[in-house]
Chains A and B, each alone.
Chain A
């Protein structure tokens, strides 16, 4: 189990700076929540970690070693939209197998696919099913299985429940907590929903305009936020009748 560390990471697209000198640590075997509104740079930070966004300055390391820019990576990512993150023409078993390390035999791979599907509570006999036959929640579980197939030390979950119905969201969140406990993964959990982050993450970082404005233990940040923006986010959680405002 390794830690994921961002050190002074900056990502620029042309003249716009999407991520501005961000330093963040996901300690080994813990879940760190990253919250912020769209455009705050939280997804760009995640994409930079897996090599999908260009890093202009700074360093991203897993277990002390820089993340390799090609080939197999020690960290994997689960995407927001389960309807676009699985190849519609490949069976779910093939999608999962593709992410596995090379060199294993055919039977070995099949057994590993079955094990991974079982791990995310999908029936292994359905490995030949196409994504179109699955519900959104089931697809997101396949995406989790695929991420785990790469034997990652760190998993980045980018808004993995926001495209799902609330009734399915609960099952996926339960699964994330369960996998994290069983496999001792380090997880960077990105979401705009504070209630969801509170449920899965022990630490939380709040991002705005490409910078991290506040971070700390989840219960501390949510109970006594330091930054105005965090307070604004808290006040916006639906169903919360009393806006949290610290008297200072």
Chain B
């Protein structure tokens, strides 16, 4: 309902709604008020032009054309709506038939619909007009049936999309009959696009009616709709142009109203939040001086590949900016592998995107420092900077299928960047692509370079993605959940590959994952993120034994490994992750923390470095936790989740 209301907030949506309502009101009211005026015959004043008495002149019986146009609204709209109802009902029947009938009969219906859709609509309408006879009834049926195949095909596509979802399968397994599934699960979930298309269809039907009546195939005397008036008016267009213009304008306005209403509803429903969100003001933090020098613990500065200070990512929200990343500082040295772990929503992926300058408007990135190989990434994007990002930074995403263009050969896609950034010609760029594919251990790279992405397996695509990053000479590879979509065996190969590249080319690696075991295996150092902040920064080797933040320790304990005690329940982290739109005061983890005290809820602990270069943000870092792992913990977890809401 809320989203439907948002349609009204756009200027076009508001105009279209007002126009549509106006047309409908006119359709109801006009015949009640003005039928007498419209039917009054005045033989003294036939075929007159516009005058104060007759705004649009009179017809060949001296009847007032302006009033006739107003009164014709009802018949025109009625006929259009009747045709739309026929189109929608028949369309729904043929649209849901394939789902109800099963595979083989369904295919016949599909084929039939496809042929009907390919058939020109106006020809279909003429054909029906001949069968059903000339007149309003024939025209309604003709336009209704002509619109049905398109609507049916849309329904088929939408139904097919929903019926492949798991909740339909689940209802099926639960023994719910097909017809019931259709009405309870499938149709409600496709109703929005169908309603939108029916509205647009009504506009189209209105225009088609005007067309048919104008051709003399629609409404017959003495009844009249806009098309009929147009037909009558066109004969005397040189005498009185207004006689044709008045019904013409009526058709135009009503048709536009329905079409625009449908379009703006479609847009409003598709976009989610429309308008009303203020732009972000410049952040004061960004203008402040550099971070304290105490945080310069890592590295000398010369071998730093990436240096990030007070990174913040903000998105505009309905009640003020939402900040999923809230002041993150870290640096990566040449050849170092840094892991970033956290739950979904912890801001780890956005941190990576901000570093690669991939956060798009309306999101905004602020930082006291954001240096890649000593060059400032915060300044306006320049050609040199794009080149630096294009050749020195490689990005590997979670889903290798969506990272490639499915219609282009792999070799060409790999070569593209090199031609662009390194100025290589076509042949040498392709040669480099083949060489890089070999480097990431893709077998028969010459043949593979000519294949399309769908011919690659998931693991091979992910390796090709890494190979694409290696086309330049990257100093940094940022890999965001690179193995989450892959099988364990393939995951291992990809992790091995990343490790090998790092060793061979002295490349720094930032590996982002929700799986603490993956990060622990590949990385030297691990940043643990919670609610947009780093809560602990420690060597990967220390993860299992000497992590000090209660969140880190809980993350490690929650994952079963091959040595987990089978008789005890797994440790769980009670509660749910913090919503970035609603970050509590004090330590964000306090609500889920077994060590939390009053201080934690009131005061946010700073991220403090100890003598060994490890950093932790916790008032109770390293205090022993009584890992209570009996069944009762689950019950408590649930109660807390309810309370938290």
Contacts and interface: CB of A to CB of B under 8 A. Distances in A.
Interface of A: 37-38, 47, 50-52, 70-73, 76-77, 79-81, 84-90, 95, 98-99, 121-123, 126, 135-136, 138, 143, 146, 149-150, 165-171, 173-175, 177-178, 192-196, 198-199, 222, 232-233, 235-240
B560 A238 contact: no
Instruction: Among A71, A122, A135, find the residue whose CB has the most chain B CB atoms closer than 10 A.
Output: A135
Given A167-B573, A178-B631, 12 more contacts: A51-B173, A52-B172, A70-B175, A76-B173, A85-B165, A86-B167, A99-B170, A167-B555, A167-B558, A174-B634, A195-B562, A238-B492
B204 interface: no
Contacts of A178: 569, 631, 634
B559 A174 contact: no
Contact of B189 (A87, A122, A135, A175): A87
A98 B176 contact: yes
B166 A84 contact: yes
Contact of A199 (B458, B520, B560): B560
B179 interface: no
A153 to B, nearest CB: 14
Given A70-B175, A238-B518, A239-B521, A198 B169 contact: no
Nearest to B544: A239
B490 interface: yes
Interface residues of B, number: 56
A51 B631 CA distance: 35
- Point out which of B176, B521, B638 has the most chain A C-beta atoms below 10 A from its C-beta: B638
A198 B562 contact: yes
B560 to A, nearest CB: 4
Interface in B560-608: 560-562, 564, 566, 569-573, 576-577
A89 B641 contact: no
Interface string B387-420: 0000000000000000000000000000000000
Q: Which of A72, A79, A178, A236 has the most CB of B within 10 A?
A: A236
A73 B167 contact: no
B37 interface: no
B515 interface: yes
Contacts of A72: 174-175
B356 interface: no
Interface string B150-190: 00000000000000011101111111100000001100110
A240 B167 contact: no
10 contacts: A51-B172, A89-B189, A99-B176, A122-B638, A165-B344, A166-B515, A174-B631, A193-B488, A195-B560, A222-B562
Given A73-B173, A170-B559, A195-B564, A238 B515 contact: yes
Contacts of B555: 166-167
A81 B166 contact: yes
Contacts of A169: 558-559
Given A198-B560, A236-B489, A89 B188 contact: yes
Contacts of B176: 98-99
A11 to B, nearest CB: 15
Contacts of B489: 37, 232-233, 236
A37 B558 contact: no
A99 B174 contact: yes
A143 B173 CA distance: 12
A37 B173 contact: no
B558 A166 contact: yes
